[in-house]
A = this chain, B = another copy of it.
Amino acid sequence: MKKSHIDLSLYLVTEESIDIVNLTKIISESIAGGVSAVQLREKNNSSLSFYRKAAALKQVLNELSTPLIINDRVDIALAIGADGIHIGQDDLPLSVIKQMVPEEMIIGVSVSNLKEALEAERDGAGYIGVGSVFPTKTKQDATPMAIRELEEICRSVSIPAVAIGGINADNIASLTDKGLAGAAVVSAIMNAKNPREASTSLLERIKVFT
């Protein structure tokens, strides 16, 4: 397993438009259950709402010594002093972002094939999010990749790779021994009746990744 300075083993990506009170509750419980990093993703919110939620969440996560990574919006990441920024293939180019953020701010890139993975590594990504590995309701247009492609990507890059897309307690074991540094999940924790137990259950299975 390739390591980054941020522990990405169980990486929670938030669901859209949950109010900060509920979000804080879910995230705090999931961290108690083993979540090691959090990504705030708000695609349909105003800049002000996104900023306020990010600033509030950063305070909570500082108390819990857990890094906060902001999806897409470099300005919001800079404004709240986030630990990282996560971009997709339709966001600002990685090479441009590298010029704008402090060196210690990790930049993660979503990739769906080997070419994108190699480009991300070449341009200085701190980690890659690889997927979707399974069918997912969060991104319904995403076609799941073959597990051998996931393995090839992990073998081909020297930065940490995190699997994402439809991962849950039932399928996570199939990601064992693929060279992953962790798994990123949305619904499996965000929609769980008990986010703490759901996280612990996922984490137990993730331990076999190494």
Residues of A within 8 A of B (CB): 46-49, 51, 72-76, 78-79, 87, 89-93, 96-97, 99-100
Q: Can you give 27 A-B contacts (C-beta < 8 A)?
A: A46-B90, A46-B91, A47-B72, A47-B87, A47-B90, A47-B91, A47-B92, A48-B89, A48-B91, A48-B92, A48-B93, A49-B90, A51-B92, A51-B93, A51-B96, A73-B75, A74-B79, A75-B75, A75-B78, A75-B92, A75-B100, A76-B92, A78-B100, A79-B92, A79-B97, A79-B99, A79-B100
Q: Return chain B residues, CB-CB under 8 Å to A73.
A: 47, 75
Report how many copies the assembly holds: 2
- Give the CA-CA distance A88 to B78 in the complex, in Å: 19
Q: Return chain B residues, CB-CB under 8 Å to A51.
A: 92-93, 96
Q: Return chain B residues, CB-CB under 8 Å to A49.
A: 90
Q: Return chain B residues, CB-CB under 8 Å to A48.
A: 89-93
Tell me how far the C-beta of A150 lies from the nearest C-beta in chain B, rounded to whole angstroms.
25
Tell me how far the C-beta of A81 lies from the nearest C-beta in chain B, rounded to whole angstroms.
11
- Give the CA-CA distance A126 to B75 in the complex, in Å: 20
Q: Return chain B residues, CB-CB under 8 Å to A97.
A: 79
With CB as the reference atom, state the residue of chain B lying closest to A78.
B100
- Give the CA-CA distance A79 to B93 in the complex, in Å: 10
| Residue with the greatest number of chain B CB neighbours at <10 A, chosen from A47, A51, A78 | A47
